[in-house]
Amino acid sequence: MASLKPVPCRNDVPADDRDRRIAELEAENERLRRIRDALIVRVESGSSHKPEPYAAFEHSVVLAEQVRERTEALNQTMEELKASNKALSRARVEAETTRQRLSDAIESIADGFVLFDHQHRLIQSNSRFRSYWRHAGVEVPESGTTIADVKRQAVSSGLVVEEHSHPDSEGVVFLLANDRWVQMTERPTREGGLVVLYSDITDVKNSEMARRIKALEESERWIRVVTDHVPALIAYVGADLTVQFCNKVYESWYGRNGESPLGKSLDEVHSVDLYQRLLPQVRQALAGSSVTFEFEECGEQGDVRYMLRSYVPNIDEEGSVTGFFVLIRDITDRRKTALALEQAYDNLERRVKERTSALTGLNNQLRQEITERAAVEARLRDAKLEAERANLSKTKFLAAVSHDLLQPLNAARLFTSALLEQSFGPKAEGLVRSVSTSLDDVENLLGTLVDISKLDAGVIKPDVTAFDLRDLLNNIAREFRQMAMAEGLRLDFVASSAIVESDSQLLARILRNFLTNAICYTGNGRILLGCRRRKDHVLLQVWDTGPGIPEDKLTEIFQEFKRIRPAGSQPDKGLGLGLAIVDKISRILGHAVSVSSIEGKGSVFSVKVPLGQLQPKRPAADQNRTESFDGGLGGARIWVIDNDQSICQGMKTLLEGWDCRVVTAVSLEDLERQLDPADSPVDLILADYHLDNDDNGVDVVAEINGRRRCPAPVVMITANYTNELKQHIRELGHLLMNKPVKPLKLRSVLSHLLRS
């Protein structure tokens, strides 16, 4: 007889299987009872093989024991089944409770919630999701609706007005019929289903729009500040020939009877005659062509001015012209200056016949420089107008100013410096000095505007190193001592050899601005440049005996375009940005700037610079030069590499005036046509960083010195002010000078290099 084992019961067995199993066990139990009864009867009634009474009793006891064991096993199984039923009931209650809690949780979600099964058919949604449909008066999708049908129904019913998606953003954003914005995000479930959340992001979108509007307004404000201080007439004319934007200079020139030209048509802004003269160029611009031309015109007060105009079309993404940019420069003074230079040239030709050839070439070079400056100004205007079309990118505009405009300024400075060293007579020398002074004014104003804008834009990054103050202070004192003497002032200087931690160029700019202000506002007396050493820092100070500053103005002087001009003082040509630049640079460097003043006695400006420690210097390479230049630059062999012919000619004229032997080239190939770079003697190479055909001066001088047995020292000249380039050139062991190059500083650098 087979033994009856207890059958384990699991709580997860389905109810039908459990009932079937119970019925089978009860049938088995009944069969076992019948077998037991039959065995007992057989034992008691057997005739042929009757055992002994004891044996029969023993056998019945065994059978009874087996029946008892199976009965107990059956009872135990029944108890386990009952316990399983109770556990199943509890599980059903808990499952129902969990389901209710899940429904409550889904309902409590602030976002719209939708659950789809593995076939992407709608199973469950919360009231937030259903409210989107009810508010729009649209029937809510029923259970079993596919996700594709839900989306199609939302669009066709008008619930979804707009749909926006971006590869880098999470989910899709919809604009609903009730002007609310929702973001849809999808997450798969483990069973292959899908959970979709619809989050209301209306407040986020509104906040983002407000930030964009604020940023746009700030950008427009800065563009307005820049254009209003550019000495040119700037405007934008729409395709309907109405003036949609203009700066203050344009408004002042064309504002008839005090009325602004904004919103007016060109035929209303200009006189009938001038409008008819301008109409062909206007049509060219509206046809998509850039045009530059010169016109003589009369102002409202009757003054006649000569204007250089540029029209640059504004073309949208579809290729249609939506308007054109207008840039007008008053070149009356320049034309008068050119005429005066021509007259001076004629006089000099009659007086000094032996210099006819040199002066003729120089005069032609000046004319070419004027033409090139006009071309550079046109490129600058094009760059600025292109920047306005591309959301008025101030950074790109400043980069164009820094590079393109500094090129002709650099060339003009070289020519005027060379002219100043020649003897042409008092009248001609006065004209040349006037040109040089005008270039200085343009350079200072442009440099100041570019610097303040770069500081605001975060373009300038400090290059902080440890250095000796000795050379910095000596150079600045030497530079400003002549300026002070020219103003009848005395500049005293207290030297210092302290080691400080700062950016030498930015720190020098702070001190130069202090000294410039001191010379500008000190009528008579003296100025002192020095420093006071403290425990962990040095105070660099500039003292003056000027009129002083009122106490309530001490903070105002560091604001942009703020100038405190004492009564009776002469007007200056500055913009009131010098101390504003000082304040911004000091913040970048982390150097505290302070000022104290007593009215009627003078002022003292101070900058606090931390002390530093010099790093060990690597031994300098022996240049193995055979000549000594202790007596000056006479005989120095210098190669000049610059892609601008005017700068090459200007540098050659200036250096030959210092008795140098100069070879100029616009590229390495040009230099190779004139000499052998590997063997020809050279004492120093002056190279421009930006060359034509994507070449740069660093690669060119590396190619030259790579061929030579003894590399030549290099001075790299550039209009690029980035720290990356400065660090790169420093690592190569070259000296770096920024455009426009100051001739006195260039001569000092050359003397230092040629003596070392």
pLDDT at 25 > cutoff 60: yes
Query: How high is the pLDDT of residue 363?
Result: 76
Q: How far apart are CA 221 and CA 227, in angstroms?
A: 10
Query: How high is the pLDDT of residue 518?
Result: 84
pLDDT at 536 > cutoff 50: yes
What's the mean pLDDT when you consider all of the chain?
A: 77
- Confirm whether 603 is domain-assigned: yes
**What contacts 172, CB < 8 A, 6 or more positions away?**
163, 164, 165, 183, 184
Query: How high is the pLDDT of residue 398?
Result: 54
Mean pLDDT, residues 130-138: 76
Q: Note whether 498 and 459 are within 8 A (CB).
A: no
* 291: confidence class by pLDDT, cuts 50, 70, 90: very high
Q: Note whether 247 and 235 are within 8 A (CB).
A: yes
Q: What are phi and psi of 540, to 5 degrees?
A: -90, 125
Query: How high is the pLDDT of residue 612?
Result: 87
Say whether both 475 and 603 belong to one domain.
Answer: yes
* DSSP-derived 3-state class of residue 507: helix
Say whether both 513 and 492 belong to one domain.
Answer: yes
- Confirm whether 213 is domain-assigned: no
* 623: confidence class by pLDDT, cuts 50, 70, 90: very low
Query: How high is the pLDDT of residue 323?
Result: 92
Pick the more confident residue, 540 or 756.
540
550-592 confidence digits (pLDDT tens): 877 767 677 656 566 554 445 554 555 677 778 888 888 888 8
The DSSP secondary structure of 436-505, one letter per residue, reads HHHHHHHHHHHHHHHHHHHHHHT------EEEEHHHHHHHHHHHHHHHHHHTT-EEEE-----EEEE-HH
**What contacts 617, CB < 8 A, 6 or more positions away?**
none
Q: Which of the residue ranges 63-67, 92-96, 261-265, 620-624 would you say has the lowest mean pLDDT?
A: 620-624
Residue 620 CA: distances (Å) to CA of 412, 493, 499, 626, 735: 35, 31, 21, 17, 13
Q: How far apart are CA 331 and CA 41, in angstroms?
A: 140
Of 85, 104, 123, which marks where a domain is finished? Answer: 104
The CB density around residue 29, as the number of other CB atoms within 10 Å, is 18
The DSSP secondary structure of 175-215, one letter per residue, reads EETTS-EEEEEEEE-TTS-EEEEEEE-HHHHHHHHHHHHHH
449-475 confidence digits (pLDDT tens): 566 556 655 666 787 888 888 888 888
- Confirm whether 6 is domain-assigned: no
The CB density around residue 618, as the number of other CB atoms within 10 Å, is 7
Amino acid at 174: F
pLDDT at 448 > cutoff 60: no
pLDDT at 7 > cutoff 50: no
Query: How high is the pLDDT of residue 745?
Result: 80
Q: Which of the residue ranges 111-115, 425-429, 477-481, 501-505 would you say has the lowest mean pLDDT?
A: 425-429
Mean pLDDT, residues 329-353: 78
Of 610, 627, 645, which marks where a domain is finished? Answer: 610
Q: How far apart are CA 187 and CA 197, in angstroms?
A: 9
- Confirm whether 90 is domain-assigned: yes
Say whether both 252 and 383 belong to one domain.
Answer: yes
Say whether both 71 and 118 belong to one domain.
Answer: no
* Angle, in degrees to the nearest 10, between helices 332-351 and 426-457: 150
* 252: confidence class by pLDDT, cuts 50, 70, 90: confident
Say whether both 471 and 345 belong to one domain.
Answer: no
214-236 confidence digits (pLDDT tens): 777 777 677 777 777 777 888 89
- Confirm whether 660 is domain-assigned: yes
Query: How high is the pLDDT of residue 379?
Result: 80
* 31: confidence class by pLDDT, cuts 50, 70, 90: confident
Mean pLDDT, residues 31-56: 66
The CB density around residue 96, as the number of other CB atoms within 10 Å, is 10
Domain of 167: which CATH number? Answer: 3.30.450.20
* 133: confidence class by pLDDT, cuts 50, 70, 90: confident
- Confirm whether 572 is domain-assigned: yes
Say whether both 490 and 421 belong to one domain.
Answer: no
Q: Which of 665, 661, 723, 742 is nearest to 697 (CA)?
A: 665
pLDDT at 6 > cutoff 50: no
Domain of 485: which CATH number? Answer: 3.30.565.10
pLDDT at 546 > cutoff 60: yes
The CB density around residue 302, as the number of other CB atoms within 10 Å, is 6
Pick the more confident residue, 9 or 12.
12
Mean pLDDT, residues 360-372: 80
518: tokens are 């001191």
Say whether both 400 and 265 belong to one domain.
Answer: yes
Provide the percentage of residues in the chain whose pLDDT is more than 70: 77
Instruction: Show the domain range for 185.
Output: 109-200
Query: How high is the pLDDT of residue 4?
Result: 38
| pTM beyond 0.75, yes or no | no
Query: How high is the pLDDT of residue 85?
Result: 77
Mean pLDDT, residues 277-281: 90
* 290: confidence class by pLDDT, cuts 50, 70, 90: very high
Q: How far apart are CA 593 and CA 607, in angstroms?
A: 4
pLDDT at 439 > cutoff 70: no
Query: How high is the pLDDT of residue 313?
Result: 93
The CB density around residue 257, as the number of other CB atoms within 10 Å, is 5
pLDDT at 639 > cutoff 90: yes
Say whether both 321 and 399 belong to one domain.
Answer: yes
Q: How many folded domains does the chain comprise?
A: 5
Dihedral (CA of 341, 343, 349, 351) sign: negative
Query: How high is the pLDDT of residue 406?
Result: 60
Domain of 737: which CATH number? Answer: 3.40.50.2300
Say whether both 89 and 178 belong to one domain.
Answer: no
Query: How high is the pLDDT of residue 620?
Result: 42
Q: Which of the given ranges, 119-128, 161-170, 429-438, has the highest pLDDT on average?
A: 119-128
Mean pLDDT, residues 729-756: 82
Say whether both 29 and 74 belong to one domain.
Answer: yes
**What contacts 742, CB < 8 A, 6 or more positions away?**
413
Query: How high is the pLDDT of residue 400?
Result: 52
Residue 626 CA: distances (Å) to CA of 631, 655, 656, 680, 755: 15, 21, 21, 13, 11
Q: Which of the residue ranges 75-79, 406-410, 721-725 would you say has the lowest mean pLDDT?
A: 406-410
Of 69, 104, 139, which marks where a domain is finished? Answer: 104
Say whether both 276 and 362 belong to one domain.
Answer: yes
Say whether both 321 and 417 belong to one domain.
Answer: yes
Mean pLDDT, residues 116-143: 80
- Confirm whether 211 is domain-assigned: no
- Confirm whether 209 is domain-assigned: no
